[in-house]
Amino acid sequence: MKTTGYHFQQKHILGIHHLSPDDIAFILRTADSFKEISTRTIKKVPTLRGRTIVNLFFEPSTRTRLSFEIAAKRMSADTFNVTASTSSATKGETLIDTARNIAAMKPDIIILRHSFSGAPELLTRYIDAAVINAGDGTHEHPSQSLLDMMTVQEHKGRLAGLKIAIIGDILHSRVAHSNILGFTRMGARVFVYGPATLIPRDLAELGATVCASLAEAVTEADVVMTLRIQKERQSDPLLPSLREYAQKYGVTRKVMDWARPDAIVMHPGPINRGVELMADVADGPRSVILDQVTNGVAVRMALLYLVMGNS
């Protein structure tokens, strides 16, 4: 677990954008070494004993919160969950006020989930604790992207040179944004496809190839990642119906036939089975969706460990 002359220097984990390829590789190696802990009978190491970690969630999320909480507990940290409703937080002062109140109790790490992009960065200006972004608006979801990269690396033995197809609502997906940054930074090629209404302008400049068809995106892909499609937004006519979405953009077994024979299927969850991903694919032999969940704990243990090493 050594790279000559390399030191992990991030105080916060705000986004993949802030991580160098060396940082990402180092986090993945660290996560690998922590993964074994979760297979022990006594799944606990004393690494973060006496450390206080606050899960500050302004947006409902069972999976991510639970994954962070398990990660923290496996490292013997004291964890506290604060769930604040964003609806009452229509004034941003609520975020800063809440954060200042929590900061006064001297936590070591604040894990923040928030529905507005940039909220974790805002937090770092007002508090001393390390901040880990657990998903902010449509900006980034770095721990999800890291666990995705870890999962792909486990199955493919590498990231460089792979073809990664990301299908669906790119516009509103922080997972897609982080993954485009992360996979391209590690030398993979990212191909995206979805309805034009859900593909942001200038996406190509982020380093992804925007495809004209589902076939173009998936053909010869090593990884096919589908994204959760949101129900239509009332005030913005993005899609005519989920029924049509499933027909034209959904990933079926037939679609997977275009991919490489050893291609894997991923989804950040929760899945709309039968919409963006058909049940037989989601639960089929190529699906690594549960590996993603397992690796999530290891990646989050690594992040907690590494930011503590730099405080």
Partner 1 sequence: MTTSWLFENGRIIDPRRGIDRPGSLLIVDGVIAAEGTAVPSEARRIDAAGCWLVPGLIDMHVHLREPGQEYKEDVVSGTRAAAAGGFTGVACMPNTRPVNDCRAVTVQILERARQGYARVYPVGAISKGSRGEQLAEYGEMKDAGVVAVSDDGVPVLDSQLMRRALEYAGDHHLAVISHSEEVALSRHGVMNEGLTATRMGLMGIPTAAEAIMVYREIALAEYTGRPVHVAHVSTAMATELIRSAKARGVRVTAETAPHYFTLTEEAVQGYNTNAKMNPPLRTEADRQAIRQGLADGTFDAIATDHAPHSQLEKEVEFDLAANGIIGLETAVPLTLALVREGVIGPGRFVELLSVNPARILGVPGGTLSPDSSADLTVINPELAFVYTRESVVSKSKNSPFLGWNLQGRAVMTMVAGRQTFTLNR
Active site residue 11: no
State how far the Cα of 1 lies from the Cα of 20, in Å rounded to an integer: 17
- Only one of the segments 26-34, 87-95, 99-107, 247-255 lies at the binding site for partner 1 (rule: CB under 8 A); that segment is 87-95
Select the residue interacting with partner 1 from 206, 242, 293, 308 (CB under 8 A): 206
Residue 93 is a binding residue for partner 1 (CB under 8 A): yes
Active site residue 113: yes
Give residue 62's Cα distance to chain centre: 14
Residue 99 is a binding residue for partner 1 (CB under 8 A): no
Residues 201-210: b if buried by 16+ CB within 10 A, e if exposed? eebeebebbb
Please report, for residues 77, 217, 304, the alpha-carbon distance to residue 291 in angstroms, rounded to integers and kept in the order given. 24, 23, 20
Active site residue 73: no
> Which residue number, 117 or 252, has a Cβ lying nearer to partner 1?
117
Residue 118 is a binding residue for partner 1 (CB under 8 A): yes
Please report how close the Cβ of residue 132 comes to partner 1 at its closest, in angstroms. Answer: 17
Q: For residue 55, give every residue at least 6 positions away whose Cβ sits within 8 Å of its Cβ, in sequence order, or none.
A: 65, 68, 69, 79, 80, 81, 82, 111, 113, 134
- What residues between 221 and 240 interact with partner 1 by CB under 8 A? 235-236
Catalytic residue among 30, 52, 64, 151: 64
| 3 state DSSP class of 52 | strand
Catalytic residue among 2, 90, 91, 231: 91
> Which residue number, 181 or 306, has a Cβ lying nearer to partner 1?
181
Active site residue 141: yes
Residue 92 is a binding residue for partner 1 (CB under 8 A): yes
**What tokens were used for 128?**
């001393």
Please report, for residues 43, 120, 286, 297, the alpha-carbon distance to residue 301 in angstroms, rounded to integers and kept in the order given. 12, 19, 27, 6
State how far the Cα of 118 lies from the Cα of 133, in Å rounded to an integer: 9
> Which residue number, 145 or 151, has a Cβ lying nearer to partner 1?
145
Q: What angle do CA 288, 289, 291 make, to 5 degrees?
A: 65
State how far the Cα of 279 lies from the Cα of 217, in Å rounded to an integer: 21
Active site residue 273: no
Catalytic residue among 63, 158, 243, 248: 63
Please report how close the Cβ of residue 165 comes to partner 1 at its closest, in angstroms. Answer: 19
- Only one of the segments 31-39, 66-74, 111-119, 274-282 lies at the binding site for partner 1 (rule: CB under 8 A); that segment is 111-119
> In 3D, which of 167, 172, 277 has the Cα closest to residue 215?
167
Select the residue interacting with partner 1 from 116, 219, 269, 273 (CB under 8 A): 116
Which residues are catalytically annotated? 63-64, 91, 113, 141
Question: Residues interacting with partner 1, by CB under 8 A?
Answer: 17, 90-93, 95-96, 114, 116-119, 121-122, 136-140, 174, 177, 200-203, 205-206, 235-236
